[in-house]
Amino acid sequence: MAQPKQSSLFQRELVGKAIRESFIKLNPAVLIKNPVMFTVEIGTLIMVLVTAYIALSGDTSQGTLGYNLVITLILLITVLFANFAEAIAEARGKAQAESLRKTRQETPAKVIRAVGNKQVNEVQTIPSSQLVRGDVFVCETGDIIPSDGEIIEGLATIDESAITGESAPVIREAGGDKSSVTGGTKVLSDRIKVQVTTQPGESFLDKMIALVEGASRQKTPNEIALTILLAGFTLIFIIVCVALKPFADYANTPITIAALISLFVCLIPTTIGGLLSAIGIAGMDRALRANVIAKSGRAVETAGDIDTLLLDKTGTITIGNRKATHFYPAPGVSKTDMIRSSALSSLADETPEGKSIVELAGTDVTRNLSTTGATLIKFTAETRSSGIDLPDRSNGLVRIRKGATDSIRTMVKRAGHAFPEETEEQAKKIAANGGTPLVVSQNDSVMGVIELQDIIKPGIAERFDRLRKMGVKTVMVTGDNPLTAKFIAEKAGVDDYIAEAKPEDKMNYIRNEQTGGKLVAMMGDGTNDAPALAQADVGVAMNSGTQAAKEAGNMVDLDNDPTKLIEVVEIGKQLLITRGTLTTFSIANDVAKYFAIVPALFTVSIPALQSLNIMRLHSAESAILSAVIFNAIIIPMLIPLALRGVEYKPIGASALLRRNLFIYGFGGLVAPFIGIKALDLVVGLFV
Amino acid sequence: MSTEWIGVVVMYGLTVLLAIPLGKYLANVFKGEPNAFDFMAPLERLIYRLGGINPHRDMNWKENLVALLTINAVWLVYAFVLLLNQGSLPLNPDGNPSQTPDLAFNTAISFLVNCDLQHYSGESGATYLTQLGVMMFLMFVSAATGIAAAVLLFRSFMPQSVETVGNFYVLFTKAITRLLLPGSLVVALILAFNGTPASFDGKDTIVTLQGDTVNVSRGPAAGFIAIKHLGTNGGGYFGANSAHPLENPNYLTNMVEMIAQVLIPIAMIFAMGFYINRRKFAWVVYSVMTIGMLGLLIPTISSELGGNPAIARMGISQLTGAMEGKDVRFGALASGYWSIVTTIISTGSVNSMHDSSMALSGAMQLLGMMVNAFYGGVGAGLLNFYYFLIIAVFVSGLMVGRTPELFGRKVEAREIKIASIVALMSALLVKGGTALGAWIFMKYGAAEWAVQPSAWLNNPGFHGFSEILYEFTSANANNGSGFEGLGDNNFFWNYSTGIVLLLGRFLPIIGPVAIAGLLAKKKYVPESSGTLPVDTATFGLMIFAVIFIITALSFFPALALGPLAEYFSLR
């Protein structure tokens, strides 16, 4: 996983803050949300009372003052360690969010401010992050629009391909329903004044920070279920320990309160209990590090369950826009003429396709061309073609058009010319190979056909393969015709595609999948996408997308990188895996702890039970101390794992279970035997 | 291989060979597909008509539980009244007295819940009327209740989202008419031909070789003993249970009784596989349970064959193993095998004195009952296994990075809550009961009760503790075997175990059926390569680990103070 901002887990200032927080979190009203650690705190309080009683009365039937004091301190430290884990996760998340807020999207904005006593309007350049709702800024040719807003003055052509994937520039003007502009898009011509309608991204960031801070952090469904299971285990061990008292009475063995509480604290799943909230926060934090703002922890968790992934073709599967790759002249037309016409029609064409045609024609051809006095014919939905009208010395006007096969065919036929069969064939061939044919005509006779090809991103097939191994089905969404779509889908290795997709097609596809019980994720940007983003179980809106899209989705990707969904899925999975494996580890630890403490409890009255002391621990007291110390220090030792997350490997569910069961189950069984024995060797020197 | 070994291997092998086709047949019966016993249909229709039951109406889990609990409550009252008055009712040739209220309370409950703890002896504590009308009747209906409840789970495994989980009445009726009645008939005939009494005559008198006159109790025993095993009930017609020569006359009947009791528990696993059309899953479940059984059986057999170290130290050779409390008809091996099988499934019939088993065997018998899901009682085994399965699915689902799913249905907080409560109650009932018993024994040993608590135990020390522990474990597991050696027919034991019995029976029915009902309703998600398959060896290992961790961890201290302490002291 790409983690560009990989920093040390424990930065000094964060650690200091977290340590202070650990003590504040001792407040029982806060701690009660974590039932496991809350019971440890109660145990600590009981031990404080016992220790105080011994100190005051001098009665040593409950063990020496020193021994009880040490146990009390270790229990307190156990709670503090757990609090620290949560606090450090929070501190890291907050720091990350803050720094994001500072550095994110520093587009210069030319804001108009009333300056001085006379309130003279003046244009100032400020970072976009300082824009506030109601500000008015100016954008001129070549500027990136710094924030979502509404045009209040002027008209401009805007390249929105970064968000919509639509290569043709669009016109936006003040008044009417085409007045809104989107942050991140580019002004191609003219000048507009725009009023800011939202605080860019900030509302999401604030939400995210609140989530990380815990105040409004709601437990996710899986976290709730796990907390219930852990509470169940805790209750079982309360029963075990309470019942042990009469059992011991029967065996005429006095058990000290310290020993009973130590046994209890060792048995309950403190390791996972202490790290549980840290794992959740760290999951959000990892999402944030990948520049994804999740609106809830639930969204991140759901991402791990995704069955179907809808991806836009443009920008995700293919690189940006289509490129011209070949010129095929019509019969009887020389290649030079054909290239010349094509280049002429595209010289003033600012679309990426147009530029790529000029590029393919080469400077040798284009150097000598001029479009002075020409009229640009824009692409419209009706004509489905664009072009140029050039004044010509000899015969008045040269009309060059390029467009979809059928629209040019209609135009040519209307003028009474024939549409060459060869060109027709060639166009079909191009389409079948995943390309887009663009027919060029001059004065209503066909010059030839240009082949535009999609360039599939390198490495994308491997990513889809990885997704397939995770059990995620990928679906490509494209406006292309079915033939082209099929070709690209096969080449890129996606499992399914929606061709000639209209926004409602996406919606229907999502609904269909959901009816079949699948969880669907999609990435979107346009307002068109908003309903589908809302319908999807995980909707990732690009930050460059419209406000409506961002409101509808449950995550926002700051990088506008459509492949981010893959990372989000892995983060979600990691989150669950980390919880599951640490639970297993925590519970498996109990076996060794039993073998340490149970013989220690009864060793005086039932010497035969020494046979259970398979670790050959030094003495009863050292055994109990070693067990509680191990129990406490395992929490900070696992904090890095909890924060980084257990690695997800797409090797199939069974293999993954086998692997994790071995590492964390078997490992959890063995590790404490070694750890407790080692601690006992040291502790044994003192008691 | 010695004949003793061959006997045990044949017993087990025959059981499995019979269980597979029986499982297929049961799946047909419960799915309502045509089967060999369709000639019972008129009788079933008569029962439905008399009971006002619409056999075609599927019910949701709540309706089914209400039906199950209501009818069980009716039987409980009926049994209680009859036992209280049996002395003055007909069919009492031996003139046995009515049961005391506390004993009747305990007896009625323990037969209702398929446990048969039996704080009385059949020869003196019951009449022919109650033996047949209460005990034998309850043996049939309690077994059928368990089977029907287990079948209610099956729909949660099926790939359709449904509101209803089945019709308890129909499943219950069919379990009796098409399984328990015909099966018992066959077993009863074999027993009767081998010498088990089947008459209404009163006691017989014989003069022994020594010249003493001995009264021998008789009665309609053969049918009783058949259902006692087939329904994993375990309550003996006679006090000595299957160690009694008339209850278990020879090695052949021993084999038949042995096969009869494990047959349905194993067949239910395969029935599930056939019913839900996932045979591989059934094999995984079967393997987990079998490995669990072997884990308990091997130490038991080895310690029983090894003989008693205390006797060995006296220089006495024990060629046939530890024979104290065992019958020479069966030997140490078959008795050891029986003792484990009867404790892992909830039969609790005995052919040897468990109080005399070696300490390690005692620990294994206890563990078998604590788990109560290695095969388990008829239906009850699957019900118990189900909540372990839910917990295993949950933890392993997390470990592979997906919201846990069981056969395409998400396992969420509510299901986990119910499963946790069931697991929790099992620990609470056993440990709470044992703690209470031990506490009263120590603190109020001299209390002026009918039987003084200080006189409860036959043995002091660790073994005495095991006796208390065993009684509550047996009650909670609805097993019904006793370590014996415990003065248990008095109000403390009758009432305390009675309450444990009720909770130990109905919570593991209510919990899993509720979970199944909730799951069945959920959206079904088709499996993908990201879904964790549950019919693999890996997942089997996971379930085994969950069972081991939950039971071993929560019972380890109790076992350490009882049988383990005794074991290490003897060594």
pLDDT digits (tens, 9 = 90+) for B39-81: 999 999 999 999 999 999 999 999 999 999 999 999 999 999 9
Same domain, residue pair A86 and A113: no
Q: Is residue A486 predicted with pLDDT exceeding 80? A: yes
- Who has greater pLDDT, A159 or A50? A50
Same domain, residue pair A416 and A504: no
B418 and B515 Cβ atoms separated by less than 8 Å: yes
Q: A195-234 burial, b if ≥16 CB within 10 A, otherwise e?
A: bbebbbbebbbebbbebbebeebebbbbbbbbbbbbbbbb
Domain's final residue, options A560, A595, A630: A560
B466 vs chain A: nearest CA distance in angstroms?
Answer: 11
Model pLDDT, residue A4 = 40
CB contact under 8 A, A239 and B523: no
Same domain, residue pair A548 and A639: no
Q: Is residue A166 in some structural domain?
A: yes
Q: Closest Cα to residue B515, out of B370, B386, B349, B365?
A: B386
Q: Which of B413, B541, B558 sits opposite A247 (nearest CB)?
A: B558
State the total domains in chain A.
4
- d(C-alpha B326, C-alpha B316), whole Å: 17
CB contact under 8 A, A584 and B395: yes
Q: Which of the listed ranges A189-198, B2-11, B189-198, B480-489 does the model predict with the highest average pLDDT?
A: B189-198
Model pLDDT, residue A205 = 59
Report angle CA A129, A132, A137 to the nearest 5 degrees: 85
Model pLDDT, residue A211 = 64
Which single residue is written with the structure tokens 């969950």? B546
In one-letter notation, the amino acid at residue B237 is: Y
Q: What is the mean pLDDT of residues B389-418?
A: 92
Give me the residue spans of the domains in chain B: 3-570
Same domain, residue pair A327 and A310: no
Same domain, residue pair A658 and A553: no
B6 vs chain A: nearest CA distance in angstroms?
Answer: 35
A436 and A452 Cβ atoms separated by less than 8 Å: yes
Model pLDDT, residue A167 = 59
Number of A/B CB contacts below 8 angstroms equals 219
CB contact under 8 A, A653 and B398: no
Q: Closest Cα to residue B379, out of B349, B423, B346?
A: B346
Model pLDDT, residue A428 = 86
| pLDDT tens sequence across B232-288 | 998 889 988 888 989 999 999 999 999 999 999 999 999 999 999 999 999 999 999
Model pLDDT, residue B226 = 95
pLDDT tier at A180, thresholds 50, 70, 90? confident
Residues of A in contact with B402 (CB under 8 A): 304-305, 471, 573, 576, 653
CB contact under 8 A, B525 and A517: yes
Q: What is the mean pLDDT of residues A239-257?
A: 90
Domain's final residue, options A433, A453, A473: A453
Model pLDDT, residue A13 = 83
Same domain, residue pair A87 and A210: yes
Same domain, residue pair A431 and A345: yes
* pTM for this model (two decimals): 0.85
Q: Could you tell me what percent of chain B has a pLDDT over 70?
A: 100
| Interface with A, mutate which of B400, B457, B524 (most A CBs under 10 A) | B400
**Active-site option among A312, A537, A590, A680:** A312
HEC-encoded secondary structure of B433-494: HHHHHHHHHHHCCCCCCCCCHHHCECCCHHHHHHHHHHHHHHHHCCCCCCCCCECCCCHHHH
Residues of B in contact with A662 (CB under 8 A): none
Same domain, residue pair A213 and A254: yes
Residues of B in contact with A612 (CB under 8 A): 560, 564, 568
Q: Is residue A3 in some structural domain?
A: no
Model pLDDT, residue A381 = 63
| pLDDT tens sequence across A90-147 | 888 888 777 766 655 567 788 887 766 666 777 888 877 777 888 888 888 888 887 7
Same domain, residue pair A329 and A362: yes
Q: Which of B398, B553, B561 sits opposite A577 (nearest CB)?
A: B398
Same domain, residue pair A148 and A239: no
- d(C-alpha A674, C-alpha A680), whole Å: 10
Q: Which of B438, B443, B568 sits opposite A609 (nearest CB)?
A: B568
A586 vs chain B: nearest CA distance in angstroms?
Answer: 11
Model pLDDT, residue A3 = 40
- Who has greater pLDDT, A55 or B455? A55
Model pLDDT, residue B237 = 92
pLDDT tier at B336, thresholds 50, 70, 90? very high
Model pLDDT, residue A514 = 87
| pLDDT tens sequence across B200-247 | 888 888 898 888 998 888 889 999 999 999 999 988 899 888 889 899
B325 vs chain A: nearest CA distance in angstroms?
Answer: 25
A679 vs chain B: nearest CA distance in angstroms?
Answer: 23
Handedness of CA B429, B434, B435, B441 (dihedral sign): positive
Task: Specify the range with the lowest mean pLDDT, choosing from A109-113, A617-621, B14-18, B315-319.
Answer: A109-113
Task: Specify the range with the lowest mean pLDDT, choosing from A408-412, A591-595, B152-156, B536-540.
Answer: A408-412
Domain's final residue, options A152, A182, A200: A200
- d(C-alpha B239, C-alpha B216), whole Å: 12
By three-state DSSP, how is residue B101 classified?
helix
| pLDDT tens sequence across A259-298 | 999 999 999 999 999 999 899 888 888 888 887 888 888 8
Task: Specify the range with the lowest mean pLDDT, choosing from A161-165, A308-312, B496-500.
Answer: A161-165
- d(C-alpha B365, C-alpha B353), whole Å: 12
Same domain, residue pair A580 and A649: yes
Cβ neighbour number for residue B528 with a 10 Å cutoff: 17
Residues of B in contact with A251 (CB under 8 A): 462, 465, 561, 565
Counting every residue written for chain B, the total comes to 571
Q: Is residue A327 in some structural domain?
A: yes
Structural domain boundaries, residue A189: 108-200
Q: Is residue B149 predicted with pLDDT exceeding 80? A: yes
Annotation says A312 is catalytic? yes
Same domain, residue pair A32 and A159: no
Residues of B in contact with A575 (CB under 8 A): 401
| pLDDT tens sequence across B504-562 | 999 999 999 999 999 999 988 887 777 889 999 999 999 999 998 888 888 999 999 99
Q: Report the phi/psi class of residue A445: left, alpha or beta, with left for phi > 0 and alpha for psi in -120 to 50.
A: beta
Q: Is residue A2 in some structural domain?
A: no
Q: What is the mean pLDDT of residues B1-6?
A: 81
Q: What is the mean pLDDT of residues A618-637?
A: 94
B444: nearest CA partner in chain A: A250
Model pLDDT, residue B381 = 94
Q: Is residue A6 in some structural domain?
A: no
Q: Which of B402, B417, B427 sits opposite A236 (nearest CB)?
A: B427
Model pLDDT, residue A1 = 36
Q: Which of B396, B408, B417 sits opposite A657 (nearest CB)?
A: B396
CB contact under 8 A, A222 and B528: no
CATH number of the CATH domain containing A413: 3.40.1110.10
When computed from its CA atoms, the radius of gyration of chain A, rounded to whole angstroms, is 34
Residues of A in contact with B564 (CB under 8 A): 609, 612
CB contact under 8 A, A661 and B532: no
CATH number of the CATH domain containing A154: 2.70.150.10
B538 and A654 Cβ atoms separated by less than 8 Å: yes
